[in-house]
Amino acid sequence: MSPRIVHRLIVATATPLALFLVLAARPSVERVRVGGTFTMTYSQQHPLSVADAEGHIVIANEAKGTNRSTGPTPYEDGADVTIAELADLVQGNGSHQGYVTKSQNGEVAIDKWSGAVHTVLGPDQKPATTFAGTWTAVKGEEGHGTYKGRITGQNSYAVDWQGEVDRTPIASR
């Protein structure tokens, strides 16, 4: 065989082998279903009126609380939670978005979320406010999911969340 043909055979054989070795060397990722409940209390509220419609406000909030793991896999149980939120509401309805920072044992994870707020008058003629949307991890383990929540008191609320995170086995980190 000519040297040129031998060279082509080596390249043709080595390239798939090299690709296989690179992919095999990557740590495996385990996708895990998780869920929890945040119990939150507002620590700051900054509403600003907008004069274009009755009851229109833009509000920046901060809330602090804890997470209780409720999913099929224990996850961030007992983590300290801080939520920074911006809402644009007319008569208690509209959009909201923000970040949730979870810290536990020196580890910090941050998720970005966005969704909608809905307020209706309850049977007692008091407003009943709920909200729902989606979240995506921006720091920590990769993940995404959904949330839904409700106002539970004058300065408190609860958020039920669920989703999936990609965990790299500890031996591979």
Does the residue 161 lie in any domain?
yes
**How far apart, in whole angstroms, are the C-alpha atoms of residue 75 and residue 150?**
22
Task: Write down the pLDDT at residue 4.
Answer: 63
Question: What are the tens digits of pLDDT across the range 108-161?
Answer: 999 999 999 999 998 899 999 999 999 999 999 999 999 999 999 999 999 999
Does the residue 3 lie in any domain?
no
| Domain total in the chain | 1
What tokens were used for 39?
């119990």
Does the residue 99 lie in any domain?
yes
Q: What domain range includes position 152? A: 30-172
CA distances from 60 to 10, 65, 88, 103 (A): 63, 17, 9, 22
Does the residue 167 lie in any domain?
yes
Question: What are the tens digits of pLDDT across the range 46-95?
Answer: 999 999 999 999 999 999 999 999 999 899 999 999 999 999 999 999 99
Does the residue 34 lie in any domain?
yes
Question: What are the tens digits of pLDDT across the range 93-102?
Answer: 999 999 999 9
**How far apart, in whole angstroms, are the C-alpha atoms of residue 112 and residue 84?**
10
DSSP string, 119-152: EEE-TTSSEEEEEEEEEEEEESS-EEEEEEEEEE
CATH of the domain at 121: 2.40.350.10
Does the residue 116 lie in any domain?
yes
Residue 172 banded pLDDT, cuts 50, 70, 90: very low
E-only strand ranges, the chain: 30-49, 56-69, 80-90, 93-104, 107-121, 127-139, 143-153, 156-167
